[in-house]
Amino acid sequence: FYMALRTLPFGLAVAIEFAGPLAVAIAASRRRVDFAWLAMAGFGLLMLLPLGLGGRDLDPVGVLCALGAAVLWGMYIVFGKRVGHLHAGQSVSLGLLVAAIVVVPVGIAHAGAALLSPTVLLVGVCVAAISSAIPISLEMVAMKRLPKEAFGIMISMEPAVAALLAMGLLNEHLDTRQWLAIGCIMAASMGSASTARRPQGQLPHAAACPAA
């Protein structure tokens, strides 16, 4: 994902990456309405891909990196459900530990002793906390406390929020076609979450709570 950010606007990178969890959600169902959401998301992605369809074309390498992040995010959701019984802190800690084992040798090979610089270490700790540890921990807690539909709809707002933050903080601006593409992907995700089939016998969140 960070490789994609080197050449893609922040909001577009998030939108492309969002195809991963959306595909996982739609793959779990075979209803006709889900194929409609899939078509809408595919149309949005098609407008973002560097196919010469007009507007500002995107860097192919950046798009491939974002699509790779989408695949890995989808895998994270699939495997994350298998450790859902663990405390949020435990599952996040295990995941980050495995990530560190994979990434640290690569970092040492490229940067060597420069990684031990106090400035680099401080920045690394801040980035790890802000971009991974804290958000993922909150996400795991939210997954357990919110109804699946509500959680999916709230997560669907991420591409627009990312684009707006990038506009305000990074001075990145998107054209009309790219905003429309983000809107299609968000609408598909929200639609998929709102029409998700509830397992038989499962009560709505409000009904499951005893009346005061």
Mean pLDDT of 88-107: 76
CB atoms near residue 205 (< 10 Å): 13
Question: How confident is the model at residue 81, as a pLDDT?
Answer: 66
Q: 161-201 pLDDT, tens per residue? A: 777 788 888 787 777 887 888 888 788 777 776 776 554 44
Residue 186, pLDDT score: 80
Look at residue 75 and tell me whether its pLDDT is greater than 70.
Answer: yes
Reading the block at residue 28, the tokens are 């779990």
Among the ranges given (46-50, 129-133, 166-170), the one the predictor scored with the smallest mean pLDDT: 46-50
Q: Which burial class, exposed, middle or buried, applies to 142 when counting CB atoms under 10 A from its CB (0-12, 13-18, 19+)?
A: middle
pTM above threshold 0.85: no
Please give the pLDDT value at position 14. Answer: 82
- The pLDDT mean for the chain works out to 74
- How far CA 201 is from CA of 129, 144, 198, in Å, comes to 39, 18, 8
Residue 3 reports pLDDT greater than 80: yes
Is the pLDDT score of 31 beyond 60? yes
Look at residues 155, 131, 172 and name the one whose alpha carbon lies nearest to residue 12: 172
Got the DSSP string for 50-117? Answer: SSS-SS-PPPHHHHHHHHHHHHHHHHHHHHHGGGTTS-HHHHHHHHHHHHHHHHHHHHHHHHGGGGGS
Q: What are the boundaries of each domain within the chain? A: 2-197
